[in-house]
Each structure stands twice: as structure tokens, then as C-alpha cells.
């Protein structure tokens, strides 16, 4: 393999790195979001109410101001 061919292969493989890092970052963010959703789903109704989540029936009983 000549030096010119080697530099072409190196530049092609390096051009794929930002895409791989982006994919890794998106996958990590999706996993963290999924994990956080699972944690919230397992909290009791009272705990959710205490941390500020509206109850399901709040939208039904809200009056317009």
C-alpha cells in the first residue's frame, strides 16, 4: 500500500468519527431519558404530587379564568 492510499484510508475513517460520537451521544441520552421515565413511573401518586406533577383529573376540574 502506498503512502497516498494509506492517507486516503485514514481520512475516510476519520471522517466517520464525528458520526459515531454523535450516535453514541444520542444513544446515551436516550438511555438516560428511558431510565428517568422508568424511575418516575415507579413513584407513588403521593410522591409525584409532592414533587409537582399534576394529577390526572386536574385538567378535567380546571376552570377557565
CA 19 – CA 38 distance, rounded (Å) = 28
Number of domains in the chain: 1
Distance of CA 20 to CAs 1, 16, 31, 33, 44, Å?
27, 6, 16, 20, 39
CA 16 – CA 49 distance, rounded (Å) = 46
Residue numbers in the chain where pLDDT is lower than 50: none
pLDDT in tens, 25-40: 899 999 999 999 999 8
Q: Rounded to two decimals, what is the model's pTM?
A: 0.49
Would you state the pLDDT for residue 36? Answer: 92
Would you state the pLDDT for residue 38? Answer: 94
Give the list of residues 6+ apart from residue 45 with CB closer than 8 angstroms, or none: 55
Domain span at residue 41? 3-61
Amino acid at each position: 500500500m502506498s503512502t497516498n492510499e494509506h492517507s486516503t484510508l485514514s481520512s475516510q475513517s476519520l471522517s466517520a468519527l464525528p458520526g459515531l460520537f454523535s450516535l453514541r451521544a444520542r444513544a446515551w441520552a436516550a438511555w438516560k431519558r428511558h431510565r428517568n421515565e422508568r424511575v418516575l413511573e415507579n413513584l407513588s401518586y403521593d410522591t409525584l404530587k409532592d414533587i409537582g406533577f399534576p394529577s390526572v383529573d386536574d385538567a378535567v376540574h380546571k376552570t377557565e379564568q
